[in-house]
A and B are shown apart, each in its own frame.
Chain A
Amino acid sequence: MLTVTYSFADSMEREAREVARGLRNRDPEVLDRLIEQFQYRLFRYLIYLAGSRETAEDLFQETWMRVLEKGHLYNGKSRFETWLFAIARNLFIDLVRQRKASVSLDELVDPEKAGTVDIPASETTLPTERLFREEENRLVATALGCLPAVYREVLVLRFQEDLALDEIAAIVAAPLSTVKSRLYRSLELLREALEETKS
């Protein structure tokens, strides 16, 4: 068991180093592979963060352009997705600042500023399954729309990306205690919002 854990960690480390080398050389093949591998996760994170599909699509492209340009800064010591999400987050903050002078993501905690989350439904084969999914997605999207961006963000990072708390702290550039309190608060808010949405 221990050997399996070691070899898994070793292969992860080796992969991160290869990615770092590829990014340093701006290798198009490596970038292609990364876009393919992380497209879904990055887009989902952006949707949760931005709440709008159009904004998420713009940020999706800009994030990969930034990955190309700043790729030499990735050292391969952390997981690539942690670095990727941090880039996406910074671009989102820049966008918010452009739209509204001197606003940071941390200041977007006023629930009145929250809107809806435009979640494009996944394609499923069966119509009934699709209907159910669409309905479920709609309910969750409405509930998530009641939450400010900082809370939506920790929810997706913890429960969809399954990132560890210290990795989330690295992405959102906040102390671990802040991440925990945000996570607890976001769960409370989501629970209430879901109950309200259903009733």
Chain B
Amino acid sequence: MSENTHERAEQLILQSQAENLTTADLKWLEAHLASCPACARRAAATDHAIRSIRSVSVRVNPALVEMTRLRVRRRALELGRRRLPGIWLWIASAVSWAWIAASVSCLWRFFGWMAHRVGIPSPFWQMGFALWWAVPALVLAAVLSMQSLQDESPIAGITNGS
């Protein structure tokens, strides 16, 4: 038998472990293995190697799994809390803009009329009007700051984990 024949057999032995051989290749290999003890030994050794890998069992430390689970839960909680103010900020901004757009012309006239009746000079009532506009944003900023202060304290120890 030529060297090429054994090389082909070796290639097919390895190939057969990863994918299906064609019927022709399979028949050729079986015939060759039946007549070549060296290649048959190599095929048996390959089978044994794969069986050895499959027989290996690994134990996972339950404490590791528990610790991982805890860390993941805490991090999920932290990420969830961080995301919440973002959503509220968008909602509050949208409401605030809608409020401004809807009320601006009426309020301007109302402030002007009130200032005229009470006798307040124009710069003062106009400054008051600007403040009226800023009130929702200021209240929102205060609420968010308080919320983030509350969030930081219990989570500080959690992120560093374990």
Contacts and interface: CB of A to CB of B under 8 A. Distances in A.
Interface of A: 26-28, 31-32, 35-36, 39-40, 43-44, 47, 57, 60-61, 64-65, 67-69, 119-123, 133, 136-137, 139-141, 143, 155-156, 158-160, 165, 180, 183-184, 187-188, 190-191, 194-195
A28 B74 CA distance: 9
B53 A140 contact: yes
Contacts of B18: 158, 165, 180, 183-184
Interface in B47-94: 48-50, 52-61, 64-65, 67-69, 71-73, 75-77, 79-80
B14 A165 contact: no
Contacts of B48: 191, 194
Interface of B: 11, 14-15, 17-19, 42, 45-46, 48-50, 52-61, 64-65, 67-69, 71-73, 75-77, 79-80
Contacts of A137: 56-57
B58 A44 contact: yes
22 contacts: A26-B76, A27-B76, A32-B69, A32-B73, A43-B58, A60-B68, A61-B71, A64-B71, A64-B72, A65-B72, A67-B72, A119-B56, A120-B59, A121-B59, A159-B53, A160-B54, A184-B14, A184-B18, A187-B49, A190-B49, A191-B46, A195-B45
Nearest to B52: A140
Contact of B59 (A32, A123, A140): A123
B50 A57 contact: no
A28 B73 contact: yes
Contacts of A133: 55, 57
Contacts of A28: 72-73, 76-77
Contacts of B58: 40, 43-44, 47, 119-120, 122
Contacts of B69: 31-32, 35
A64 B69 CA distance: 8
Contacts of B42: 191
A119 to B, nearest CB: 6
